[in-house]
């Protein structure tokens, strides 16, 4: 009998904004990204919440997605998530924006892997934004 795959996961990595372009040196735009989630909670989708912290500005973004993995348990595991982002730097009365995550996990074992993801979404006045994240992911 095959042991079931882990349901919970945690990721820690770096985040970098592509659009709008970051002003100044890379280390000013680079951020720290962390998230925790669960697989296959309802109809193949699982919740994921995360935080991005900008090293340059000190700003914090909080994200919440429903994520669908398409090849869970394999070395290459693409996934797609839709959700919202709360932006602490926005002057809007309610700084909630539509957000998405399109990524891939590269799993070296049942419990350890890398992730690389694109992060399209909206900002103030429906402006488009895009960033990338990469790092380590641990399942438990």
Q: pTM of this prediction?
A: 0.91
What does the domain layout of the chain look like in residue ranges? 8-139
Question: Per-residue DSSP letters for 51-96?
Answer: EEEETTT--EEEEEEEEEESSTTSSEEEEEEEEEEEETT--SSS-E
| CATH topology classification for 8-139 | Porin (2.40.160)
Q: What does the radius of gyration of the chain's CA atoms come to, in whole angstroms?
A: 15
Q: Is the pLDDT of residue 126 over 90?
A: no
Both tokens assigned to 46: 């699982």
Helix H or strand E segment including 34: strand 31-38
In whole angstroms, give the CA distance from residue 127 to residue 113: 33
pLDDT of residue 124: 82
pLDDT of residue 128: 93
């Amino acid at each position: 009998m095959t042991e079931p795959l882990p349901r919970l996961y945690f990721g820690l990595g770096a985040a970098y904004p592509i659009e709008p372009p970051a002003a100044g040196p890379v280390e000013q735009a680079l951020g720290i990204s962390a998230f925790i989630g669960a697989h296959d909670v309802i109809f193949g989708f699982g919740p994921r919440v995360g935080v991005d912290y900008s090293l340059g500005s000190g700003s914090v973004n909080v994200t919440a997605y429903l994520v669908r993995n398409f090849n869970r348990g394999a070395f290459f595991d693409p996934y797609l998530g839709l959700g919202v982002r709360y932006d602490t730097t926005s002057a809007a009365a309610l700084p909630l924006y539509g957000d998405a995550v399109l990524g891939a996990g590269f799993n070296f074992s049942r419990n350890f892997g890398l992730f690389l993801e694109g992060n399209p979404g909206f900002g103030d006045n429906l402006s488009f934004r895009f960033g990338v994240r990469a790092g380590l992911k641990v399942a438990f």
